[in-house]
Amino acid sequence: MPNTHQFALERPFQLQTLPTDGKQFHPDRDVAETEFKALRKEFVQLQRQLYAEDKQKLLIVLQAMDAGGKDGTIRNILKGVNPQGVRVHSFKVPSKEELAHDFLWRIHKVVPARGMIGVFNRSHYEDVLVVRVHNIVPEAVWRPRYEQINQFEKLLHDTGTRILKFYLHISKDEQKERFQARLDEPDKNWKFSREDLEKRKFWPDYMAAYEEMLHECSTAWAPWYVIPANQKWYRNLAIMRTIVNTLREMNPQFPEADGDLDQIVIE
Ligand code: AMP
Ligand code: MG
């Protein structure tokens, strides 16, 4: 049974002791990529059934440091999936209108509907990460959010949404290499942001914030997975395994045909 990297609730972890390197979990990149493609085919099929069944919902949350691989994960995981059945939402700095509401308002509006898969590129967790690290609101405001998030996710779960949360764990060295590539490669220049360099200075504070988030918001109904993400091929495989396993458990079925179709004659 391959390691799923599910964050264990009971054991006190330090994030810095959790692996960023996927190579130790899989010996061979080619084999991993072959397995990944086979699983993706199965994912495409299961998604069709989920959509046709029109009962259950799946929400996939992606969080990571800048250059952690959220965009690449979405590109790789969703390739070939029927776009009608999937919605990707990228959460940016909140607008004035969003800030005038509670922090879950903009999130709740776009959670997946029946039959749908929702993918969050960043999420409500930014409100206990960037917001905490940069003191955008005082602790008296962000600390109660852990519990508010747990209750919100419980509501989604109780009303038919399976939730998978992936933290893509890269090392600080890996982030440096990826930022450097954004400087060096013309077609990656657009991704380079001076702000990201500012945030990099707060790396230990971000790790502390992620660590507490994992401890406070890993629940039975909405588990966190800490994915070793330095190697993209391993990251893709580990995430895809968890998604496909979850969809197998959800076991979506094509609806029953409408009566006896054998009797129908089309004029
Ligand atoms: P990107 O993912 O590169 O498009 O950048 C989106 C930016 O929006 C990141 O710098 C996030 O930290 C920021 N962001 C997302 N959600 C929030 C939030 N709730 N409060 C403040 N900043 C946020
Ligand atoms: Mg960015």
pLDDT digits (tens, 9 = 90+) for 198-215: 999 999 999 999 999 999
pLDDT digits (tens, 9 = 90+) for 33-54: 999 999 999 999 999 999 999 9
Pairing of strands 224-228, 161-169: parallel
Beta bridge partners of 88: 119
Domain with 239 in it: what CATH number? 3.40.50.300
In a domain, 262, yes or no: no
The 10 Å CB-count burial string (b at 16+, else e) for 216-230 is: ebbbeebbbbbbbbb
**93 Cβ closer than 6 Å to some ligand 1 atom:** yes
> Taking the mean position of all CA atoms in its chain, how far away is CA 83?
17
| Cα 84 from Cα 116, distance rounded (Å) | 9
Give the pLDDT score at 7. 86
Give the pLDDT score at 88. 98
**200 Cβ closer than 6 Å to some ligand 1 atom:** no
SS3 44: helix
**104 Cβ closer than 6 Å to some ligand 1 atom:** no
Supply the DSSP symbol for 257: P
In a domain, 220, yes or no: yes
Domain count, the chain: 1
65 token code pair: 């440091």
CA distance readout (Å), 174 to 22, 61, 169, 170, 171: 13, 22, 10, 6, 5
Ligand 1, closest atom to CA 127? 19
In a domain, 81, yes or no: yes
Model confidence band, residue 10 (pLDDT cutoffs 50, 70, 90):
low
Residue 68 has pLDDT above 70, yes or no: yes
In a domain, 259, yes or no: no
Helix extents (H) in 54-81: 70-77
pLDDT digits (tens, 9 = 90+) for 105-156: 999 999 999 999 999 999 999 999 999 999 999 999 999 999 999 999 999 9
Residue 16 has pLDDT above 90, yes or no: no
In a domain, 260, yes or no: no
In a domain, 244, yes or no: yes
Q: Which amino acid is at 264?
A: I
Average pLDDT over residues 214-242: 97
**92 Cβ closer than 6 Å to some ligand 1 atom:** yes
Kindly report the protein residue whose alpha carbon is nearest to atom 2 of ligand 1. Answer: 92
In a domain, 261, yes or no: no
Kindly report the protein residue whose alpha carbon is nearest to atom 6 of ligand 1. Answer: 92
Taking every pair of C-alpha atoms in the chain, what is the biggest distance, in angstroms?
A: 71
What domain range is 96 assigned to? 5-251
Q: Which residue has the higher pLDDT, 246 or 257?
A: 246
- Residue 4: CA atoms inside 13 Å, Cβ hemisphere, count? 15
Q: In this structure, which ligand is nearest to the CA of 188?
A: 2
Ligand 1, closest atom to CA 129? 12
